[in-house]
Structure 1
């Protein structure tokens, strides 16, 4: 009888499912706990209500937030179970002698893994549908959308896990390769950002997300979002307890196109897996990298992941601890990166060769590692790409998130164009003085400024952070520790002058209070005194106080930031905060409601604000004492001796001038 070869084997499928039933069985049990807990709550609480909107929100929350992470972890476990025969010489030889073509083994194994991926979701989903039918909260749209997301992401994650499984012949290397495939972009982006922060002034050392789509889990978490339509409704009406609440009237899951794109990526990876399997040698079982042409890629990746974090760690331990400077020094960092890179290079070679004898004839690769590490440090030190000097054009800016002088500002194109232009001009002035800033940072490390320096010498430091969102969707973040002086602040064109003009300008004061901004709604706040009184503000009280603060700002008695006087000695011992709610959209287009707040420092010259607080009964005349009057032991007299008593020279602060008495 002539034998046949098959592209699919049902017996192997059943064997995989029965052999690894503890894996999908335990996952199904854990998943079933959530709808069962909902049933128990429904039976325990007779007043428990579950609406279609509530259940749809729960479905979408799971689909948007939980499914990517769960599928990432569960997918690799299923792949390790299904493809474990690839990692043993005897098992792979046995499977390849069966009357099933490699295409059949691939198809059967993939269907087995997909079945194990979907069974727990199916069990949980069926129970959730039953609960929704019993409670009358069944939503067909939410169910279908969630099912499509689960199917698409399960397929993608198991396809990537299958691809990773065929790249290696080692069971322990497989999950490492799988995680590197998913997070290499995040890792390298963060490492290069940290390295850039150490070399370049102002560059943020945080993850930039420039190529985030190469890290699927992160991109899915940030792109698939829940769109809620919210209305303010009267929840309870009573003479003394009426209040409103925000109620969700519609809910949708946005960004589903990303799931579709990753499904297509999964199909492409399956095609590559098929090509790999056709050419895969059975003798590669046990090898860290199964395909010979991938071995150089493996060595480069391992070297990178060793050189960057290892070099920075060695620099901190063996150089910065003894020769501290605010920025990395190129030569010591190059040496440290070379050492760490060579360790990674030879470690990768030992893993590939499964031997410790890898040094003979390896000098060419070692030289290449040294040259590359030195080139990276040299490029960072000289900023050949002009990263630190990059300033966007004002017309290319869609939004600026600005943090300066203890406040946060959001400036949107089309609404605050003049302020955006001022910020960009300030940023350019800062970039022109980067060498000056680096010199001052080195000086201040050796001799930090004291409060007396700020008040009497007219020198201070301040921190500013700029977060640009450009019209093309790109982001740019910069942060600076600025050294400012009274002399430079009087010179037009310096960053000191432009910073003061921006922060203390009338337009910025209005933005600080969100005056005239329709996106912000004043919701409340609080007022408390050091004598024990504390009050939560309603929206009407908060609006009355905000109006008084605006009048003080117009009178010039509020809103002027004192760069050279950080003391609160002359403030009233009153804590006051106003809170705002606002509607925004994130980078993916998702609408959200969030909160903002501003702390108001109340001073005696703010007569409008003080009168308003007195009229509202939030403070009394007895509360109108300054902190210096209330705590005299904590606030010393603002007179500082700058030299020894024998010299007879005393410097006092008087009308922001220096008087020499001898």
Structure 2
């Protein structure tokens, strides 16, 4: 009889479906419970929305949320489980020999096993989609576009992660190595990026971690979580959000296309993979140096920095990172990772003689990486983005008993912070002279006391990336009296309307509803008209630069700031949906807010509630304590 070869084997397909039926059953039950069953409970359960329009919106929102969020989780977990089950024979020498002796080409074995997983996924998800369509139809909430986009979302996510998992399984000859490789590769780019930035943060003044856009794209779970979102439109007449739809399908299409490419790559690896590598840590020759150096680099950056902060940092007791110690720890852990990976691949502890040259090269490469980071060859520390490349800026200013934040988009306002950043970098040597943060707790004359503040900047750039800087500011009060110093310029900016407007100006204000004026246990309620009058006075003081004058002067802040609290209650609209919400403007104020003080006096509030500064309150408290002690 003439033998034949085939690219697909029906008998193997049926064997896969019956052999691994518990796995398929668990997958199907999970989707049935999260999909049709949950939708039926929402539509007809005891807490179902009675109004048909609102019920339809709720069902659509839940439908899209399930197929995006639960679909992503299910794809990540089921992808590796399906791949491990269907290609587990590649890790058993006798099994792989048996399969490769069958009259089926390797392409046929791969495609049969790979398509088995896809067949189960499509069957389960299509069935769930049909059942959900019946539920939505019976509830009068069927929307074909939303259901199809949800189904496309679930299938696209599964295609990517399942293909990625299959590629990981074909690269290794050990079954337990497959999920480890799968998990590490999913988070590798973001992990390495974070570790390198962590090292940079130890040496660069003001450097703060920020995930680059390309790193998020190359971390599939984060990329899909960030891009896939559910959006709706707020209906002012009905006062509800309707017309829910799924955003980010274009991004998902890119990941799905990459998934198809990964499946082809897995096929190419499978065709050339030697059968005798079953049981090896790495089953493909070209992947062995990648694995060796990858483990070495990851161990150097993670374990090396961990060793330094666990052992050397507590021993040195310095706020500065000792670079020779850091480099020694990183190099040592790099060598440990290099030889540990070599032992895994060679299945022997005797690897030093055969790999010592590679170990020396590994140590040199890791040491060079540390030196490049320390030398700041890319100019990261002193980089200030050009104004034309900045789309928006979010700032945070942390001073003495004060905290200001806001978001700016006007170029002239952003430029002022760019100038401040440049001034801070020019004086970095003494502004970072003691980053232990114990300055404010020191005692003694404020002129000689080292004080502490912070400036955080987050730039959203025009290319879609984010740049973050966080500067610890250690200064003496005398520096505030030097007009050209960075601290004096920052203190002046803190009182400027550019900084105070986000704290005091109410966006989308509809009306005031009242307020409270309080000092200690005494208080008086304000009418809506009183609140409006006081708010107008606050805005006048803000534009005149009378708020935030003592942001970095602790003694003057205590002398001039009142313990009185003013709360104004109002109703405003949300920026995106237009839904009205209730909020309040809570603030403390000082003797500098002359317009506000005049308004309080005209309303007769200062006669009912006395104005007491923090310094006066401390004096009164000391006087009471002395009287009690004498008595």
TM-score range, shorter chain: 0.7 to 0.9
Question: Is the alpha carbon distance of 1:111 and 1:250 closer, same or farther for their aligned partners in structure 2, counting shifts above 3 Å?
Answer: same
Q: What corresponds to 1:19 in structure 2? A: 19
Q: Distance in 1 between matches of 2:580 and 2:325?
A: 48
Q: Paired residue for 1:621, among 608, 612, 621?
A: 608
Aligned to 1:433: 427
Q: Does 1:389 align with 2:382?
A: yes
Instruction: Give how far 1:455 is off.
Output: 4.0
> Is contact 2:300-2:337 (8 Å) kept?
yes
Equivalent residues in 2 for 1:539-550, closer than 5 Å: 545-550=534-539
After superposition, the Cα gap between the structure-2 partners of 1:542 and 1:355, relative to the gap in structure 1 and judged at 3 Å, is farther
Cα distance between partner residues in 1 of 2:29 and 2:297: 41
What SS does structure 2 have at the residue aligned with 1:211?
helix
| Whole-angstrom CA distance in 2 between matches of 1:503 and 1:28 | 59
d(CA) in 2 for partners of 1:95 and 1:619?
A: 91
Q: Which residue of 2 aligns with 1:601?
A: 588
Preserved contact between residue 185 and residue 211 of structure 1 (Cα < 8 Å): yes
Q: Report the number of matched residues.
A: 612
* Cα distance in 1, alignment partners of residues 32 and 617 from structure 2: 61
State how far apart, in whole Å, the 1-side matches of 2:218 and 2:460 are. Answer: 21
Conserved 8 A contact 1:132-1:138: yes
Candidates 409, 413, 416, aligned match of 1:422: 416
Farther-moved stretch of structure 1 (164-173 vs 309-318)? 309-318
1:259 aligns with 2:256: no
Which residue does 1:553 correspond to in 2? 542
Alignment of 1:110-129 (within 5 A): 110-129=114-133
For 1:267 and 1:541, the matched residues in 2 are separated by: 66
Q: Deviations over 1:328-363 (max 9, x none)?
A: 221101111111111111110011111111111322
The answer (yes or no) to whether the contact 1:463–1:479 under 8 Å persists in 2 is: yes
For residue 454 of structure 2, the aligned residue among 463, 466, 481 is: 463
- Structure 1 residues 25 and 390 mapped into 2: Cα distance closer, same or farther (>3 Å)? same
Match of residue 148 from structure 1: 152
TM-score, L = length of structure 2 = 0.87
The alpha-carbon deviation at position 301 of structure 1 amounts to: 1.0
Distance 2:482 2:88 in 1: 72
8 A Cα contact 1:194 1:205, kept in partner: yes
Preserved CA contact (<8 Å) 1:454 1:565: no
Alpha-carbon offset, residue 172 of structure 1: 0.6
Cα distance in 2 for partners of 1:15, 1:351 equals 34
Relative to structure 1, is the Cα distance of residues 492 and 622 closer, same or farther in structure 2, using a 3 angstrom cutoff?
closer
Matched, 1:298 2:291: yes
Deviation at 1:612, TM superposition (A): 6.5
8 A contact 1:87–1:170 mirrored in 2: yes
- 1:188-227 deviations in Å (ceiling 9; x for gaps): 1111111111111111145444422111111111112223
- Go from structure 1 to structure 2 and tell me whether the alpha carbon gap of 1:55 and 1:536 turns closer, same or farther (over 3 Å shift): farther
Gaps of 5+ in 2: 625-631
Query: Any idea what SS the aligned residue of 2:236 has?
Result: strand
Q: Distance in 1 between matches of 2:266 and 2:195?
A: 30
Does 1:44 pair with 2:43? no
Stretch deviating more after TM superposition (453-462 or 297-306): 453-462
Contact 1:74/1:117 (8 A) holds in 2? no
C-alpha contact 1:166 1:276 (8 A) present in aligned 2:
yes
Task: Tell me what 1:5 maps to.
Answer: 5
| Cα pair distance change 1:112/1:60, threshold 3 Å | same
Give, in angstroms, the shift of residue 165 of structure 1.
Answer: 1.1
Q: Structure 1's 186 and 249: CA in aligned 2 closer, same or farther, altered over 3 A?
A: same
Measured in 2, the distance between the counterparts of 1:477 and 1:576 equals 33
How far apart are 1:175 and its partner, in Å?
Answer: 0.9
Matched residue SS, 1:318:
helix
State which drifts further: 356-365 or 111-120.
Answer: 111-120
Larger CA deviation: 470-479 vs 249-258: 249-258
C-alpha separation in 2, matches of 1:596 and 1:271: 56
1:33 has 2:33 as partner:
yes
Relative to 1, partners in 2 of residues 1:606 and 1:278: Cα closer, same or farther, differing over 3 Å? same
Deviations 1:291-314 (A, max 9, x none): 011100001111111111111111
Aligned mate of 1:87, from 80, 85, 91: 91
* Superimposed CA distance per residue, residues 354-398 of structure 1 (whole angstroms, 9 cap, x where no aligned partner): 111111132211211221222122222221211101101122211
User: Are 1:339 and 2:336 an aligned pair?
Assistant: no
Change (3 A) 1:356 1:507: closer
2:628 matched to which residue of 1? Answer: none
| 1:281/1:500 CA distance change after superposition, 3 Å | same
Which is richer in helix? Answer: 2
Q: Considering only aligned residues, what root-mean-square deviation do their CA atoms show, in Å? A: 3.5
Distance, in Å, in 2 between the alignment partners of 1:207 and 1:596 is 33
1:106 to 110, 114, 125: 110
Residue 292 of structure 1 aligns to a residue in which SS?
coil
